[in-house]
Structure 1
Amino acid sequence: MSVYRFDSETGKVTLLSQVEGSLNPDFLALSNDNKFVYACNVGVKTSVEGEVSAFKFDKATGKLTLINKVPGRGNNPVHISIDKENKNVLVSYYSSGSVSVFPIKADGSLDTISQRIVYTGAGPHRNQKGPHVHMTKFSDDGKTVLVADLGTDRVLLYNYDNTKAQPLTPADPAVELMSPADGPRHMEFSPNEKFLYVIQELSASLRVYKYDKGKLAFVQMTNMMPEGYDKNGAADLHISPDGNFLYASVRGDADKVILYAINKQNGKLTYVDQYSVSKAPRGFTIDPTGSFLISAGRDGNTIDFFKIDKPTGKLTKTDTKIDLAQVTCLKWVVVD
């Protein structure tokens, strides 16, 4: 794990700190007060149980200090999220097809698992021999959690109450089915939370839903790649802070970030442009001001920086880059 300072005026990047060791972090989440960082740590092999780590974070210096790490009771953790009151961490496990809830103690450390949900089922695609949970997503009010199960083509919905030891209970309805072999991977709400966008790894497509207090209504599906594309690489998606544009990445042999305009009235997407990025853009992020997009090329071992033209959403690659091996997740912290 590495921490850099980025100067949005000059584009200069400065390394502040690094955490050495064999933690092998895959995905990161910051507490809402930015005082703690949590990481899901992949085992040496995906068949080996992963761990979850808690770090104290000093945003003035960028220093990360390990507080503790706990067993994950799941294989190949690929995503981690935190509720808005910093009460629980939720971890998604791809290989074991499960979600685990870890309570957060007062000092920021993690307690042992309070709830574990293990899914069953499979899909028609060769990569769907079992359930593969890839993300949990909290609604803005913190009362709903959505779970993307790539292996069974489902988005599952839960009511969430962090006053309970087991905070997740199935909503009604509890499941939204995708098309066979879609593989829902990541999800993103529009800034006003009227719409939910789902990127689907296996079909390289995007789904749009109207969202209202835990209820989903299908609006649109659009393919990211030409018909017949079968590299199974759709990865990440993010929306500009003004809600005007959606960006989505696709890997395989494409290695693109694709830009869509958002119709704010009905949520529908219209293709605008696409941009080449470093190989295997598994994760990317947009800075809080909406001025920059940064893409992590896991197999290209490079982080690319793009300037965003806010009126059009279009990207221009800058001269700034970071060479970093196997980078998968990027997070911003605003420094006063």
Structure 2
Amino acid sequence: MQYFLTGSYSRADEPGIKLWQFNPADGSLMEKTGARGVERPSYLAFHPAGELFIACSETDDGELVSWRFGLVAETLTEISRQPSNGAHPAHAVVDESGKWLLSVNYSGGNVNVFPLDEDGVIGALADSAAHEGTGPDEHRQDAAHPHSVSQIPGTQLFLVPDLGIDKIHIYKMDLQNGKLEYQRVIESAPGAGPRHVAFHPSLKVFYLLEELSSTLAVYGISEGAGIDKLQILSLVPEGWHGQNTSAEVAVSENGKFLYASNRGHDSIAAFSIKDDGTLNALGFAETGGQGPRHFALAPGAEWLIAANEKSGSLTVLKIDNAGMPKFDGKAVRTKVPVCVKYAGTR
């Protein structure tokens, strides 16, 4: 059986973090346990080495909470807490060494580094870098709003897309002391709202989802950390003019397909990936829910699980051999799910 973890916008007295068992034979989901005690545990960041994750408590005060999970006993155990150094931590990542936790505060407008020991205890703040500026959308871009932080695989470089200022900041982190060194910035189109990044598993290519413009930008990474835009595509159908904000992007483990979620159009946009990393559009699949803020791909490239915030549901989409997902009615109710992550198999 496979296992998935979900985060949510639940209250601290509710089981906001849940462990689910997934059967890839029939696409069924079963809730196994839940953990209380964290207010709005939205995004979950996994340790690269094992059964450890960090939950972002997306509140005005902001907190990062580390947890250990057990698949055999189906347990969730809190380890430590640390203030996030700003309001509304929206995303985090544990670096490839497993020794550093980086997080971004959406309302706090900064990216932060914390040490992480071998037991999963989060240490005191090691470094912080603040973003400043605004964008043309007065409602969403009134200030800097860094929305994610991602490590370029095999490097000490981190990408920080900032939705509020239409920029992607690149930092180099010193692995000895966690200090951040600003490298350069990539500009998105005015009002695009860069949000999340996904990397190709074998090509030196990454994909930047732009929330406000519902677009996807393809970038190539060259020697010396040179970054060049290769392609930009729409994430909604041609001629569709409804309200939409795109949310999550992911690449299949075999590197053949890319998927992105749309809130408003309430769909998964599917693409095939060419040999150079650029994309061909395959089409759109209804998620079977409303407001798919996040989704996860199950190992084996056969299933996609969507976390539908507005409808309060997890929906399961079957992926065919051509890479196209389809919702066939499999769904479970759960309160305000906003993150879903593959946790392991046993």
Same fold, TM exceeding 0.5? yes
Q: Give yes or no for the alignment of 1:178 onto 2:191.
A: no
Q: CA RMSD in A?
A: 1.6
Alpha-carbon distance between aligned partners in 2 of 1:221 and 1:105, rounded to the nearest angstrom: 40
AA matched with 2:41: P
Q: Give yes or no for the alignment of 1:131 onto 2:181.
A: no
Is contact 1:134-1:185 (8 Å) kept? yes
- TM-score normalised according to structure 2 size: 0.90
Aligned counterpart, 2:61 = 49
AA matched with 2:345: V
Aligned counterpart, 1:149 = 162
Aligned counterpart, 1:158 = 171
Structure 1 residues 322 and 280: alpha-carbon distance in aligned structure 2, compared to 1, 3 A threshold: same
Aligned counterpart, 2:131 = 119
Q: Give yes or no for the alignment of 1:237 onto 2:255.
A: no
Is contact 1:138-1:146 (8 Å) kept? yes
Aligned counterpart, 2:22 = 6
The Cα offsets for residues 102-148 of structure 1, whole Å up to 9 and x where unpaired, read as 11023211111111111101111121111010011111114211110
**How many Å apart are 1:231 and its aligned residue?**
2.8
Aligned counterpart, 1:98 = 110
Helix, strand or coil at the partner of 1:21 = coil
1:206 to 199, 216, 232: 216
Structure 1 residues 97 and 228: alpha-carbon distance in aligned structure 2, compared to 1, 3 A threshold: farther
Query: What is the 5 A alignment of 1:190-201?
Result: 190-201=200-211
Aligned counterpart, 2:5 = none
Aligned counterpart, 2:6 = none
Q: Give yes or no for the alignment of 1:282 onto 2:287.
A: no
Aligned residues: 326
Structure 1 residues 227 and 159: alpha-carbon distance in aligned structure 2, compared to 1, 3 A threshold: farther
**Structure 1 outlier segments of 4+, above 3 Å:** 226-230
Query: What is the 5 A alignment of 1:60-99?
Result: 60-99=72-111
Helix, strand or coil at the partner of 1:328 = strand
Alpha-carbon distance between aligned partners in 2 of 1:158 and 1:165, rounded to the nearest angstrom: 11
- TM-score normalised according to structure 1 size: 0.93
2:261 to 233, 238, 249: 249
Aligned counterpart, 1:262 = 273
Alpha-carbon distance between aligned partners in 2 of 1:103 and 1:142, rounded to the nearest angstrom: 18
Helix, strand or coil at the partner of 1:86 = coil
Query: What is the 5 A alignment of 1:21-60?
Result: 21-43=37-59, 48-60=60-72
Moved more, 209-218 or 71-80: 209-218
The Cα offsets for residues 144-175 of structure 1, whole Å up to 9 and x where unpaired, read as 11110111111111122321241x2122xx11
Is contact 1:140-1:193 (8 Å) kept? no
Alpha-carbon distance between aligned partners in 2 of 1:250 and 1:177, rounded to the nearest angstrom: 22
Alpha-carbon distance between aligned partners in 2 of 1:26 and 1:42, rounded to the nearest angstrom: 6
Is contact 1:205-1:222 (8 Å) kept? yes
AA matched with 1:308: I
Is contact 2:80-2:120 (8 Å) kept? no
State the percentage of identical aligned residues.
Answer: 27
AA matched with 1:8: P
Aligned counterpart, 1:220 = 231
Indicate the structure whose relative CO is greater, using CA pairs within 8 Å and at least 6 residues apart: 2
Aligned counterpart, 1:109 = 121
Alpha-carbon distance between aligned partners in 2 of 1:193 and 1:93, rounded to the nearest angstrom: 30
Alpha-carbon distance between aligned partners in 1 of 2:242 and 2:230, rounded to the nearest angstrom: 24
Moved more, 19-28 or 148-157: 19-28
**How many Å apart are 1:305 and its aligned residue?**
0.4
**How many Å apart are 1:207 and its aligned residue?**
0.5
Moved more, 13-22 or 137-146: 13-22
**How many Å apart are 1:227 and its aligned residue?**
5.9
